[in-house]
Structure 1
Amino acid sequence: MLDSSKQCNDFSHEVDVSTNAPMYKLLDSDLLRRLMERTGTGASMSIRGLSAASGVPRSTIHNLLTGAQQSIPSDTAHALARAIGVDLLILFAPVGRSVPIEAVPTPPAVSA
């Protein structure tokens, strides 16, 4: 018999258990930082500006940039990508039961 608390913990990185929303993993924090320096409109955007434009808390953006947080709910990922002006899949990869968060590859660093 499966321990239900263990089962819940096994999927905590794949689905936001509070909303049952799919999760997305940030592919490259340096890419996020570079795109913030030059958004789709050509303007730069600070953490505070991105937070205001996307409705995502500054702490979440900071945690993504520092690597303290790797995955976020779908609606948050969409809001960040939209505010920066890029396609969602440029910054994030979906994670789920068939794609554990550890299995999503981190792309090699690209020099500017």
Structure 2
Amino acid sequence: MRPKQNPMVLVSADLLVQLMKRTGDGREVSVRDLADAAGCHPSKIGHLRKGERRTANHDEALAIAKRLGVDLLVLWEHTGRTVPAPTETEHLTAVPA
């Protein structure tokens, strides 16, 4: 079992959008392609782009930064004892059958 990772906090939704328009290799990356690289659902990338969500786990954040061609800390901040992670609202709600 892997130890629980502290979430990473997105520095700026606008920066994410800009980096997606022109990656390290000069080409644009789609929401779906970035989600595939990060191993998450495309809606998570969409929420990050809109500023509706600000956190991702370390592995996702690292994969996103790598796919965009930037260092991890250009786009993300560490959280931990001295830097608390923001609370995220639950995006999926149960609907009674």
TM-score by length of 1: 0.69
Q: Which residue of 2 aligns with 1:24?
A: 8
After the TM superposition, list the runs of 4 or more consecutive aligned residues in structure 1 that deviate by more than 2 angstroms. Answer: 52-56
Partner of 2:42: 58
State TM-score, norm by structure 2. 0.79
Any conservation in 1 of the 2:7–2:55 contact (CA below 8 Å)?
Answer: yes
Gaps of 5+ in 1: 1-17, 103-112
Q: Which of residues 56, 67, 77 in structure 2 aligns to 1:72?
A: 56
User: What are the Cα deviations for residues 28-62 of structure 1, in whole angstroms up to 9, with x where unaligned?
Assistant: 00000000000000000110121233323201101
Query: Which has more strand, going by share of residues?
Result: 1
Could you tell me which residue of structure 1 aligns to residue 68 of structure 2?
84
Q: Where does structure 2 lack aligned partners over 5 or more consecutive residues?
A: 87-97
Secondary structure of the 1:25 match is strand
Larger Rg: 1
Give % identity: 39
Distance 1:63 1:85, change over 3 A: same
Provide, for residues 3-24 of structure 1, a one-character-per-residue CA deviation record: whole Å limited to 9, x for no partner.
xxxxxxxxxxxxxxx9511210
Paired AA for residue 78 in structure 1: L
SS of match in other structure, 1:95: coil
Distance 1:94 1:35, change over 3 A: same
Checking the alignment, whether the CA contact within 8 Å between 1:56 and 1:79 is kept in structure 2 is: no
Report if aligned partners of 2:9, 2:55 keep a CA contact under 8 Å in 1: yes
